[in-house]
A and B are shown apart, each in its own frame.
Chain A
Amino acid sequence: MPYQRIRKGDNAQTRRAKKAYNNSQSRKGRVYIHSNQQINVRKKGKFHGIRKAPIRFEKEIERFCLTNYALTTTPSRAVLKLNKEFSLFHDPTKVLLSLLNLLKHAKELRVHPKITYDGYVSFGAVYLIDNLCWEIGKKRKWLVDFQKFPADEKSILSNLRSAVSSTVDDENENMINERVLINRNPDAGNNQQYRSKAKDITDMIQRAFQQIMHDDSFSLPLEIHGAIKSAIGEQFDNILLHATETSHGTLCGFFNKKTCEITILIYNFGKTIAETLTSEDLPEDMWDKIGELLTNYKKKNIWNFTKGSEFTLENALTLFALQEGISSKIKVDISRGCGLIDFIENCFSLSTDTKVAIISGETAIKIDKGRPISSQYVFGRQRRVIALNAENDIFSRPDANYIKNTGVRFNGLIIETTIPLKGIQNGND
């Protein structure tokens, strides 16, 4: 049997590779007796029946699968068509359902997923799938129909290695991907990993623009630093304050050199926004505000207590949490509850074509220039609000195109922010 001897002078990477190779050699032909599953794999022109261990995902992903088990389907083929609709912004239900099916099929050893190109690749959706499915990729084949993919998209897809921290810098893209540790030490001060990653991301964009403009002295305007770092900082600050059991958040900054768009995707498992707003220790003042909101909704027949209502309580609470001055920690300090609206405002002040997708629990909210931040006298004072309706009134029915119930429960929070930066090289951003 071929065997790679580990030598004294081998570095850590070589040692790991040799160990992995040796292990794979010793596994060859072994029957996995602890598994009840059996599949056929084609090997050197012959079919061999071998038993493989079932895939076990991380605890949080297992919980995500279990919560939504009833939603998965059993088609004979799992085909992922990447098009405009397949994005967290346009159709989060489609993305999350595909994700669930991929996880289920991998677990039950059914079919190999096939990915085909149908006109557009939404980076955020593909990244999320890649990130959550990496354990499948390690053990099962993914069939990617590369023939239809344009060269640049092919390169972006092949660079995705979201299972491990990675940095990519090529002619099509710049990407920084990191699983960020949340430092909950009270003396942490400025020692939070996301801050250095935020710098890495802005440095990466600056380098990209220097290459595009052939100008090494170009430095990114502070407005861009402000918007990007606000998107990252405010979200990680929220994880720190509200998702108290979460140890990591996943951060990805992706800059597409062709479209000059930066996509920042941050997600974490833990409490949903609505769960935070219904916790037992919620200040009385917040309960009053929730009561006022729901009474108004009920009066206008936007929401009622009956099951099956199109607009659910969770939808209402998630939207409510986006408004200025709404926080479960308001008792500690009345200036809390501005983080999300601040970051959204910063991104839109940089570019009105910004797109933000927020997914928490079964609720998906999208924010674009069609339904911008406005101001309303509500809950005793003038506030910045995201009403998501033409009236800019948070007590009126939000536009169904902007908030919907996905039906798939994500135990945590996903925020995808896409900011177009085209034009900054001309100074007319």
Chain B
Amino acid sequence: MATINVDLTKLVSSKVDLISGRSFGESEAEKNAVLAHVKNHDKIVIKVDDQYVKAINDSFIKGFFSKVFSELKTKDKVKELFEIQANDYFIRLFDKNWTVMEALYTNQVSH
């Protein structure tokens, strides 16, 4: 078990302070080998510095976590492996999206 840092602040620049797009979320998850780390039970720390990142769209979060939720299914299991190092606003944003995704993926199990 290792600890992996994913710094989302690197995705913005002086001209862009928004992280958005489902496909961008999916590609970032792939680039950071998030699913492999999840399968390996590694701890993943997601860092967001609100001085540079002003908004993250829900679609990006859903794209980033879609394969994670298809593997782990529940929010509690995701919370065991993922830590969000950001201000309250972004922590609430991730939490809100995880709740929506949990409803989607746990429902898929029951069918």
Contacts and interface: CB of A to CB of B under 8 A. Distances in A.
B90 to A, nearest CB: 8
A381 interface: yes
Contact of A192 (B12, B21, B55, B87): B21
Given A334-B105, A380-B111, A229 B55 contact: yes
Given A222-B89, A334-B108, A237 B103 contact: no
Contact of A189 (B24, B50, B55): B24
A217 interface: no
A339 interface: yes
Interface string B1-28: 0000000000111011111111110010
B57 A336 contact: no
B103 A381 contact: yes
A338 B100 contact: yes
A222 B21 contact: no
Contacts, number: 105
A233 B105 contact: no
B104 A335 contact: yes
A401 interface: no
Interface string A217-235: 0001011011011101110
Contact of B18 (A195, A334, A343): A195
Contacts of A346: 58
A240 B21 contact: yes
Contact of A229 (B54, B90, B101, B104): B54
Contact of B59 (A199, A225, A339, A381): A339
B58 A339 contact: yes
Given A225-B54, A342-B58, A380-B107, A199 B21 contact: no
Interface string B90-109: 10010000001101110110
A54 to B, nearest CB: 41
Interface string A8-23: 0000000000000000
A424 interface: no
A200 to B, nearest CB: 9
Interface string A349-382: 0000000000000000000000000000000111
Contact of B16 (A190, A225, A338, A342): A190
Q: By CB atoms of chain B within 10 A, which of A232, A325, A333 has the most?
A: A333
A346 B89 CA distance: 12
Interface residues of A, number: 38
Contacts of B13: 190
B55 A230 contact: yes
Contacts of B15: 196, 199
A378 to B, nearest CB: 12
B58 A230 contact: yes
Interface in A373-398: 380-382
Contact of B19 (A190, A333, A335, A381): A190
Nearest to B31: A189
A202 interface: yes
A316 interface: no
B11 A222 contact: no
A202 B16 CA distance: 11
A198 interface: yes
A234 B57 contact: yes
B55 A240 contact: no
Contact of A237 (B57, B66, B87, B108): B57
A213 interface: no
A226 B21 contact: no
A335 B16 contact: no
A10 to B, nearest CB: 31
A199 B16 contact: yes
Rank and list the top 9 A-B pairs by shortest CB-CB distance, nearest first. Answer: A233-B20, A229-B55, A342-B58, A225-B54, A233-B57, A381-B107, A225-B55, A222-B89, A195-B16
Interface of A: 188-190, 192, 195-196, 198-199, 202, 220, 222-223, 225-226, 228-230, 232-234, 236-237, 240-241, 324-325, 333-336, 338-339, 342-343, 346, 380-382
16 contacts: A188-B24, A189-B27, A190-B21, A196-B15, A199-B16, A202-B17, A222-B87, A225-B54, A240-B23, A241-B22, A335-B65, A335-B69, A336-B22, A339-B58, A346-B58, A381-B107
